[in-house]
Structure 1
Amino acid sequence: MLKKIFLTCILITSGIASKAQQIRKDTTETRSSYHPLSIVNNLLGFAHDHLHFRYRSGGSSTSGFDCSGFVRYCFRNFGMMLPHGSAAQSLIGDEIAKAEALPGDLIFFKGHNSGSSRIGHVGIITEVGDTYIKFIHSAWNGGVRYDYLESDYYRRRFISIKRVVGLLDMVPQRKANSFKK
């Protein structure tokens, strides 16, 4: 299993550029079908299974999640270790332009103060279309839920997108057959 994960990581790093060119050519389908890692589909399915779990400040378990705790929990389930804290998570990975975003990428926002330049919120991109980016996150006003970058609230607070899948150390913590979806 570890060999498969390792080989998949190598293949993604070599195939990202060619996949990005394919994505730009096809404007009729969402880009989610082009992501080169099946682990991303498993990750997004796992995140979806936690919809409506409650928000809890500092939380990183099923008893309640804050934004970075939720992202960390989801990635950790697949052996990818992220720090707790949206600002700390923003220091990992490669910055990606909005036009190059793919499901599984992390999306970062300012906190409640839109005038600040500090990162205060994070989510996981789940779907990318020609005119939208959908993400899953844990919000203080609703727990784990989906939102769109194009909504006024998130558009004004958007900071960056980072690609971490394929760049993190892969440490298997569960057997492959225990992955959901």
Structure 2
Amino acid sequence: MKKFFGIAMSLALFFTIQVGSASAETPMSQAVNDGLGSPYKSGGTTKKGFDCSGYTAFVFDKLGISLPHQSKSQAALGTTVSQDELRAGDLVFFDTENKVNKGVSGISHVGVYVGDGKFYHSATGKGISINKLSEAYYVKTYVTAKRILSDEQYADVMTDN
């Protein structure tokens, strides 16, 4: 069942990141797909189990970029982008603990935006999951997004292998 789930998630991402030809994956799609099927594990940074920031650090490490292992620390990096300017590879941040302060200090969750309103993340009890920013829970808890990849890096990771 785990293998089937991984294949289904890979196909979902393949059709979600609609860049390049239909016959090859991009480094970005390979990086996010590599963790599919992995469970959630608090403090986890490997395919044996990821927490949210462990997963995003894992994905970016595959792209040659080092990120700290904490969502608040990751939110301090890059350039802030509005939700309508999101592109694949941007990090999206949430306040899943419903703190009063909706600023950076309230950040408790992070995911990787993959396009078409969707993001990959490690969810408690679910592991690596794909969700839509338009889902009520994520609309309510969304805080900000950060662009980590430069335009040149973006072009490189979104080009078919």
> Scaled by the length of structure 2, what TM-score is found?
0.74
Asked if residue 50 in structure 1 is aligned to residue 30 in structure 2, the reply is no
Residue pairs, 1:71-150, within 5 angstroms: 71-113=56-98, 115-117=100-102, 118-128=106-116, 133-150=117-134
Cα deviation, residue 63, structure 1:
1.1
C-alpha distance after superposition, 1:1-25 (max 9, x if no partner): xxxxxxxxxxxxxxxxxxxxxxxxx
Cα deviation, residue 42, structure 1:
1.1
Cα deviation, residue 44, structure 1:
2.5
Q: Displaced runs of 4+ in structure 1, greater than 4 A?
A: 31-35
Q: Which residue of 2 aligns with 1:163?
A: 147
Q: CA RMSD in A?
A: 2.6
Asked if residue 67 in structure 1 is aligned to residue 52 in structure 2, the reply is yes
* SS at structure 2 position matched to 1:99: helix
Say whether the 8 Å CA contact 2:35–2:55 is kept in structure 1: no
Say whether the 8 Å CA contact 2:53–2:69 is kept in structure 1: yes
Matched letter for residue 146 of structure 1? I
Cα deviation, residue 49, structure 1:
3.0
Matched letter for residue 45 of structure 1? Q
Identity of aligned residues (%): 32
Listed as ranges, the gaps of 5+ residues in structure 2 are 1-15, 154-159
Cα deviation, residue 62, structure 1:
1.2
* SS at structure 1 position matched to 2:56: helix
Task: Decide whether aligned partners of structure 1 residues 77 and 49 sit closer, same or farther in structure 2, where only a CA change above 3 A counts.
Answer: closer
Q: How many residues align?
A: 133
Cα deviation, residue 60, structure 1:
0.5
Larger Rg: 1
C-alpha distance after superposition, 1:90-113 (max 9, x if no partner): 000000011111011000000232
Cα deviation, residue 43, structure 1:
2.1
Cα deviation, residue 116, structure 1:
4.9
Q: Matched residues in 2 for 1:142 and 1:47: separation?
A: 16
